[in-house]
Structure 1
Amino acid sequence: MTWFVDYRLNSSVSVADRAFSYGDGVFETIRVIPQCFFQLNDHLSRMYRGLTKLGMPLSFEQKQNLTRFLHDTVLPFIDRESVVKIIVSRGEGGRGYLPPNDSNHTIVIGILTAPDYQTIRKSGVSLSISPVPVNKNRFLAGIKHLNRLENIVAKRFLLSPDFEAIMLSSDQRVIECIQSNLFWFKSGILYTPALSEAGVQGTFRQAILKEQTAYVVQIGNFGLSEVKSADEVFISNSLMGIVPVTAVGGLSLPIGIHTRKLQKLMQSKDVHAVL
């Protein structure tokens, strides 16, 4: 792994940084191959929205510096498919929970080995139902903030052979999976949960909704029974792409033609991005 802290080769951050003390910041994980970031603008846009929502926006000059560094310094390091992780915190300062008036951002960028999802894209995965609820909070919904304890605890409950688990809100609404967004088909209609009060608005989720034009889409509040009665189910994130689901809570499901069709569509967008 290669790490940069405030644009210098380094792997150390101050223990007084608010990311360490309070999880006061946001992060993005971006798929990258030699000479190409995937969905870079979407990732940066979500990160900037998150920072603004937390009251610590980056200036125009800071955004320019970050983008320039990613292209001029980080990209030349990439010699195979990798993951670039960007963490931006409020930096040091403030008293207790009260943040400083002016943020002294810490910007951490890492280059990590990419996980291999090729097998599960073909064969599919099974999902369990997590006992860990997702808290509703409209002030934090949608963004990838650094407070991921719900996901960490949910991951501890995840047992083999299940690859992922569906996470519900306290009122039993389907929100997302531990590390991915959730979709399903019923009678040719594409469904996915609304994320206005909880969950992460995935960049790949956004891309699917934008790029596909063959299906009517329903975004709303759904219960687990609606997922279990689906014709097809799949999960997605920016690293794994679209992965079919073959079982939900022990109930078997087929890998359907609609899921395969969307896989091919999004893979064709990958090829276009490389070209």
Structure 2
Amino acid sequence: MTWFVNYRLDNSVSVADRGLAYGDGVFETIRALPHSLLQTEDHLSRLFRGLSKLAMPFSIDQQNTLKSFLNFQVLPLINEESVVKIIVTRGEGGRGYLAPENCIQSIVIGILPAPNYKVHQEKGVSLSVSPVPVSSNRFLAGIKHLNRLENVIAKRFLMPFDFEAIMLNADKELVECIQSNLFWYKQGVLYTPSLEKTGVQGTYRKAIIEQQAEYIVQVGRYLLSDLMAADEVFITNSLMGIVPVVGVTGMSFPIGCHTRKLQILMQAKDMHGTH
């Protein structure tokens, strides 16, 4: 693993950093191939949007500095499939929860080994339903902030034979899985939960909704019963791509033709860098 802190080769941050004290920041994980960082624009757009939402926006110069560093310093170090992780915190300062008026962000960038999802993509995975609900907060909805305790606790409840768990909100509506977004097919129409009030608006989810024209996509508020009536189910994130679901709480689902077709379509887009 290789780490940079504020664009210098380093692996430590201050103990007074607000990211450590309060989770005061955002992060992104980007799938990296030799000569290519996939979906970079979508990842950075969400990163910058999150920073603005937390009232510590990047200036245009800061945005350009980060993009340049990724392209000319990080990318040349990628010689196999990897993960590039970007963490931006508010840095030090302030009194208690009160943030400093003018922050100097801490920028942490890591190059990490990529997990291998090939078997999951081919054979499918099983899901359970997490007992941990997802909180709804319009001030935090959609962004990848550093406060991930709900996901940490949900992961602790995950049974060894289940790959992921579906997370519901307080109204028992579908939101997402612990580390992925949720999709299903019903009569050839593609469905996915709305993430306007809660959850993480995944970059791969965005790509599926915006970049494929094969299927009508319905985004809305759905219950577990809607999912259980599906013809095909799959989960996604930017590292795993599309992973079919073959079971939800003991009920079996086929790996259908629509999921396979979309898998092939999106993999082709990955290889050609269209994200």
1:203-235 per-position Cα deviation (integer Å, ceiling 9, x unaligned): 000000112212221101000000011000000
Query: Given the two structures, how large is their TM-score scaled by the length of structure 1?
Result: 0.99
In the alignment, structure 1 residue 229 sits paired with structure 2 residue 229: yes
Partner residue in 2 for 1:101: 101
Distance, in Å, in 1 between the alignment partners of 2:159 and 2:15 is 34
Per-residue deviation, 1:272 = 1.0
1:161-219 per-position Cα deviation (integer Å, ceiling 9, x unaligned): 10000000011000000000000001111100000000000000000011221222110
| Alignment of structure 1 residues 21-60 onto 2, 5 Å | 21-60=21-60
Number of aligned pairs? Answer: 274
Distance, in Å, in 1 between the alignment partners of 2:146 and 2:215 is 34
| Alignment of structure 1 residues 1-275 onto 2, 5 Å | 1-273=1-273
Query: Given the two structures, how large is their TM-score scaled by the length of structure 2?
Result: 0.99
Q: Which amino acid aligns with 1:270?
A: D
Distance, in Å, in 2 between the alignment partners of 1:120 and 1:145 is 27
SS at 2:260 equivalent: helix
> Percent of aligned pairs with the same residue?
65
4+ runs deviating over 3 angstroms: none
Distance, in Å, in 2 between the alignment partners of 1:10 and 1:214 is 45
Q: Which amino acid aligns with 1:59?
A: S
Per-residue deviation, 1:150 = 0.2
Distance, in Å, in 1 between the alignment partners of 2:146 and 2:172 is 24
Distance, in Å, in 1 between the alignment partners of 2:113 and 2:48 is 25
Distance, in Å, in 1 between the alignment partners of 2:137 and 2:124 is 32
Structure 1 unaligned blocks of 5 or more: none
Q: Which amino acid aligns with 2:173?
A: R
Distance, in Å, in 1 between the alignment partners of 2:151 and 2:209 is 24
SS at 1:243 equivalent: strand
SS at 2:263 equivalent: helix
Per-residue deviation, 1:271 = 1.7
Distance, in Å, in 2 between the alignment partners of 1:171 and 1:97 is 30
Distance, in Å, in 2 between the alignment partners of 1:267 and 1:217 is 19
Distance, in Å, in 2 between the alignment partners of 1:234 and 1:148 is 23
Q: Which amino acid aligns with 2:148?
A: R
SS at 1:108 equivalent: strand
Distance, in Å, in 2 between the alignment partners of 1:213 and 1:37 is 24
Structure 2 unaligned blocks of 5 or more: none
1:33-60 per-position Cα deviation (integer Å, ceiling 9, x unaligned): 1110000010000000000000000011
1:84-108 per-position Cα deviation (integer Å, ceiling 9, x unaligned): 0000000001111010111110000
Per-residue deviation, 1:160 = 1.7
Distance, in Å, in 2 between the alignment partners of 1:202 and 1:243 is 14
Distance, in Å, in 2 between the alignment partners of 1:263 and 1:129 is 24
Distance, in Å, in 2 between the alignment partners of 1:189 and 1:266 is 17
SS at 2:272 equivalent: helix
Distance, in Å, in 1 between the alignment partners of 2:252 and 2:222 is 20
1:129-186 per-position Cα deviation (integer Å, ceiling 9, x unaligned): 0000000001100000000000000000001210000000011000000000000001
